[in-house]
Structure 1
């Protein structure tokens, strides 16, 4: 079968060659592109005759999917799959597997990097030193004893909870399910409105779907403490950026750490969060660690090998 890696997945050419040789020994062909396609027409050329696609987070349209007449399986080098035209996959009986779990630790760690950055004024402190200033006005806050609200208590949310517990936080969760970890950590389960009212830090870990678009809107933000901060390492569209920017600029909440936006960076110059007060913005980098990329590649190719054995794993369609 013809396996096409339609875009780079941040592993070395040496590692790609190892996988290529492994598949060739089993009678398959692996083609790996080193750059993203610039448009759908280039994508259509790349997927021609492909039986299996490997893709990270480059959008995969219905037009491209429908053009790939031999396509049977897509292994997504990403946890989310909202960038893929899933309806076209279902219509064409194409199995889609994702790489869920590869970046759980990486994302949870960045959520805390953003949290500590905001609570200890790290960005402003760095600027103060470079401008020959003192620590005047830069007193921060400690995490210990704070209410750490987690919206979305899946694998990443639970990793985040473990770290929050290590910092001495009280953990609040909106999920109605009673997880074993929740019992272990003494989690308090609350409706989302009450969680927002009580939390000092709110960290988002939900997938993007119809029910989570604008989950955190002006009404929800208005429930938060003036001293609270919002962390989003989930999906950009889960938060209404315009409402968040207005709340920040009016000092209705204390700060926000944002790694994800409605589009992939670079974000437009007029994006509301670029001029919002007390923000730390990162260019969708939560998942991007060397360790995570190695794990991701292992899952991507294991998905394909499992499919060959009719033992499909990580199936999302």
Structure 2
């Protein structure tokens, strides 16, 4: 039976995927897997039993990914599961920037008297706004969220230009051919009326938008950050707004210094705060964690490569190891020493580490454990598992 530990409240629609016959939830201090949302694990003492951590959300800044990688713990996230929720909030924010909707409602709430209708008609002209049709939107980062925003903004009548030097093949297919691709970020910054950022927080993207980039934008341009707070240099953007270098800034990440600026709209991190998004993230996190525990297949990991292989043999060996030469030879020769035949094998690398799946016809679990123990003695091998195929062995 697999032991799973949860942090935070995970939507029951996701937890229902863990069958009671095979999974125990929060019944052990030595879990096989962890599923969480925003709980910070940087001070968490990971038991040796932990094989994987699944985050019900896209960002993994609350997880010590580098530490997990060194320990052979696979970290999963749920890219795209909350994309629609974020997309809708960005589109709503675009509308709030061109139409003074919030201001008009606040004004109306303060009005009194028997001639309310006359007051409204006489004063509504102060809340006249603009339309999005014909305006140019720049999307920096064309992942799941950025691609959806680009497509829907075009359908709203906007001219859309996107920039992403690392766009995936799958995402490229999903983007409308009417969305123009920029070769340089400067093209987006210098030409667009609205610029929205959708990139992960990495060392290379911290303060991606700072003084230099803000100076390139049009004075009438408005900037949106729904990725991570650190993507935009806060002090630089405040300076740019106050000096009218740009027309406005909207962010989903609350910082005290951003509050009370008339041209800054701060939202309380509402991007993925929909019931549907929480359910989608929980389902996806549970599905990826469950699949890894049961079959060793990795998909949507932030620290290990995607590795998939049909599981038709009686048993499977999974090997997490350093990405160094001759590892496949070492794994194959060790298995051969025990007289075991390899049915199928796949290997993928990612940066300094790699992952190998080996399917074998051997049914003797004790014998396979001896193979795993010997492989673990190899200096470059981090973790080895033996997974039984219940459908074949039953």
Structure 1's consecutive aligned runs of 4 or more residues displaced over 3 angstroms after TM superposition are: 15-19, 180-183
Which residue number corresponds to residue 39 of structure 1?
none
Q: In 2, are the aligned partners of 1:150 and 1:205 still within 8 Å (CA)?
A: yes
Assess, with a 3 A threshold, how the Cα gap between structure 1 residues 72 and 194 changes in structure 2: closer, same or farther.
same
Q: Distance in 2 between matches of 1:125 and 1:166?
A: 27
Q: How many residues are paired up?
A: 287
Q: Distance in 1 between matches of 2:280 and 2:179?
A: 31
TM-score normalised by the chain length of structure 1:
0.84
User: Offset of 1:17 from its aligned partner?
Assistant: 6.8
Assess, with a 3 A threshold, how the Cα gap between structure 1 residues 78 and 128 changes in structure 2: closer, same or farther.
same
Deviations 1:21-56 (A, max 9, x none): x43212x21129xxxxxxxxxxxxxx8312211111
TM-score normalised by the chain length of structure 2:
0.69
Q: How does 1:231-246 map to 2 (within 5 A)?
A: 231-246=224-239
Q: In 1, are the aligned partners of 2:248 and 2:264 still within 8 Å (CA)?
A: yes
User: Offset of 1:18 from its aligned partner?
Assistant: 3.4
Structure 2: gaps of 5 or more residues: 112-119, 304-394
Q: Distance in 1 between matches of 2:165 and 2:66?
A: 29
Q: How does 1:262-277 map to 2 (within 5 A)?
A: 267=255, 271-277=256-262
Q: Does 1:25 align with 2:21?
A: yes
Q: In 1, are the aligned partners of 2:14 and 2:285 still within 8 Å (CA)?
A: no
Q: How does 1:78-93 map to 2 (within 5 A)?
A: 78-93=57-72
Structure 1: gaps of 5 or more residues: 33-46, 262-266
Assess, with a 3 A threshold, how the Cα gap between structure 1 residues 171 and 73 changes in structure 2: closer, same or farther.
same
Q: Distance in 2 between matches of 1:30 and 1:290?
A: 22
Deviations 1:254-287 (A, max 9, x none): 22221125xxxxx4xxx22113222221111111
Q: Does 1:3 align with 2:4?
A: yes
Q: Distance in 1 between matches of 2:179 and 2:33?
A: 45
Q: Distance in 2 between matches of 1:155 and 1:257?
A: 20
Q: Does 1:167 align with 2:152?
A: no
Q: In angstroms, what is the RMSD of aligned CA positions?
A: 2.0
Q: 1:56 aligns with which of 28, 37, 40?
A: 37
The structure having more radius of gyration, on CA atoms, is: 2
Question: Which segment drifts farther, 175-184 or 100-109?
Answer: 175-184
